[in-house]
Amino acid sequence: MRFESFIGNNRIKEQLGALIDANRFPHALIIEGEEGLGKKTLAKELAGALVCSSASERPCGECADCKKALKNVHPDIIEKSNEDGKRSFSIDTVREIIKDAYIKPNEAQFKVYILENCHLMGIPAQNALLKIIEEPPEYAVFIMLTETKSAFLETVLSRSVVVTLEGVEPSKAAQFICDNNSDIDYEEALGAAAICNGNIGRALETLSDGKLKRIVEIANSVALATIEENEYELIKACAVFARDNQTLMDSLTFLKSILRDALLFESGAPPLSNQKETAKKLALNLSSKKLLNMITVCDDINAFAKGNGNNALLITKVCYELRRAQGR
């Protein structure tokens, strides 16, 4: 199978592509991943391959089915989500899907349902959906997109193939962004991809709303403050996190890129963060062990911050842990 628009996650592409090529694609697939990782892009590529009428590699991009799929007008690819303004994926929507699923495909061999925001699907709706994925029509395929598979009942998970998407290597993400957006500078794209852990969707948002410059400035400020003897400089640099949990996490992610560049500074490796001067100062002032400790701190605090909205506590933890990583 060919993947034109979805990059990275090569193991998953190989797995799903092999199932397509062998005509053994599951009736129920769950694609898990945070917003911006390309869940829908992958789902639409898989749907296109399933309806493709070519006898060779699919999707061929040339047959009538492929052309309709690319224009989002194929009658056998049905997209459903939670209704606008509603916080749940309603049972009524699921009932409509089930009713339609028993009607044979209009044109293709398969009838593919792409169900978005399935983490908003309540237990009654999941139980209703379970009935059809337990004994589906032979032509029906359900591709369910979710931010976390933990939102699903075990009974649904046990009857589905589950894949988890990850971010793309920042350099590849940056190249993809630039290839598809001629007005974006590669270095800026690389910085945004580094901040967003290779999440292309989030990187594009960061570039469009001007957030990138602020994150870079904050990360540099925190990085340089960590090598000051006076703890006050670090506290002052972290004060911007007082009301913004996401900025804290994004800044620590970018800080990790700067620390990685400092760690590899003497090797001459190309910088991931493009913050050569800051990385040089860190490399001259901190040992490899201390830099590695600080990278671990960035990961640990980001994980902690996802479940903790107390920013005063987070700022204290950032300052304490970064200094402790240096033995201070």
List, for residues 83-137, the tens digit of each pLDDT value: 655 667 888 899 999 999 999 999 999 999 999 999 989 999 999 999 999 999 9
Residues 6+ apart with CB under 8 A from 141: 25, 26, 27, 28, 29, 47, 50, 110, 111, 112, 113
Judged against a pLDDT cut of 90, whether residue 211 lies above it is answered with no
Distance of CA 95 to the CA centre of its chain: 30
* pLDDT at 85 (0 to 100): 54
Residue 166: pLDDT band (50, 70, 90) is: very high
* pLDDT at 154 (0 to 100): 96
User: Taking the CB of residue 239, how many other CB atoms lie within 10 A of it?
Assistant: 9
pLDDT tens digit string along 267-312?
Answer: 877 777 888 999 999 999 999 999 999 999 999 998 888 877 788 8
Domains of the chain: residue spans and CATH: 10-164 (3.40.50.300), 210-324 (1.20.272)
Instruction: Give me the mean pLDDT over the 192-205 stretch.
Output: 89
* pLDDT at 243 (0 to 100): 78
- Cβ atoms of 19 and 119 within 8 Å: the answer is no
Q: What percent of the chain has pLDDT over 70?
A: 98
H/E element holding 164?
strand 161-164
Residue 2: pLDDT band (50, 70, 90) is: confident
Distance CA 101, CA 140 (A): 7
* pLDDT at 206 (0 to 100): 85
- Choose among 43, 45, 105: nearest CA to 75: 105
* pLDDT at 86 (0 to 100): 63
Query: Chain-wide mean pLDDT for the chain?
Result: 91
**Which is more confidently placed, 314 or 140?**
140
- Choose among 34, 1, 36, 33: nearest CA to 17: 1
Length of the chain as a residue count: 328
Judged against a pLDDT cut of 70, whether residue 149 lies above it is answered with yes
SS (H, E, C) 38-66: CHHHHHHHHHHHHHCCCCCCCCCCCCHHH
